[in-house]
Every structure is written in C-alpha cells, then in structure tokens.
Amino acid sequence: MPWVSRRTSDLALILLAVIVILSGCTGPEPAAVCQESPRIAPDDALQGVAQNGELWALGDQPQVGKEFKLVIRVTGSGTLAVSAVDPDGARHDVLRIDEHVGSNFSRPGDEWGLFFEFDQAGCWEIVVSRGELSGLITLAVDA
C-alpha cells in the first residue's frame, strides 16, 4: 500500500509546518518590532503588566551604552527586587536603586529611581517584584 506512506509523510510535513507557525520560530525579533509597554496620558507613563498590584514608570528613550534612569511607582509592601532581561533572555542586575521621598509622579504606590546600562539594542524587560506584586515593563532600547 504505497499510498499510505505517501499520505503519512504529507501529514507529517503539514504537522511540522503547523508546529513551526504556532511556535513563532521566525528568528530574532528586530528592535523596530518591539512592543513597548503602553504610554498612558496625561504624563506619558509606561503602564507595566502586574499581578497583585500596579506598576508604572517614567523614562526617556534608552540607548545602548548610556546610563538610563527609569522612575517607577509600585504598589504593595516589602522589599523591592529588580532585574533586566535582555533580548537574548539573559538577566542583568540594576546598577543602582534610589528610593524617592517626594515626587510629582502621581500614580499609585511608592517610588524609586532605577539605573541601568543596556549593552545591546532590542526589547528589554524590566522585571519587578515587591511582596505579592510581580510585574514587568517592556522597553525598546535604541542602538
């Protein structure tokens, strides 16, 4: 029954094509396609994705090799933990975290200044946790 092996190989090729399409195996994502966290009026704040609280940020356009300050406001209580994840998935420590006492950044939560130096262009995720809150902000870093 030669038609059985032909049909089986055709089905295997179709299945493989579907798996590749659904897995998103299209190669590295160019920086221009990066989906930054949305900016919300009136202050153009970046709205982070957070579970069990709120995460907001203010910052200019980050560039490779230049120190970048991101001001964040985070709800919840407890110790703040922050790291950056580069386009390749590697984690990087924040250079410095400064707690802010007073501010005109009127979003919920407590405020900190985070300092980074990005070593490559592309989509970076700033991962934040504080008590029960976990969240992230996505930034497009320019070359």
Tens of pLDDT, residues 110-142: 999 999 999 999 999 999 999 999 999 999 999
Strand partners of residue 135: 50, 128
Tens of pLDDT, residues 45-72: 999 999 999 999 999 999 999 999 999 9
Domain segments of the chain as ranges: 31-141
The CATH code of domain 31-141 reads 2.60.40.10
The string of pLDDT tens digits covering residues 64-104 is 999 999 999 999 999 999 999 999 999 999 999 999 988 88
Burial (0-12, 13-18, 19+ Cβ within 10 Å), 85: middle
Integer Cα distance of 61 and 29 in angstroms? 19
C-alpha–C-alpha distance, residues 8 and 92, integer Å: 47
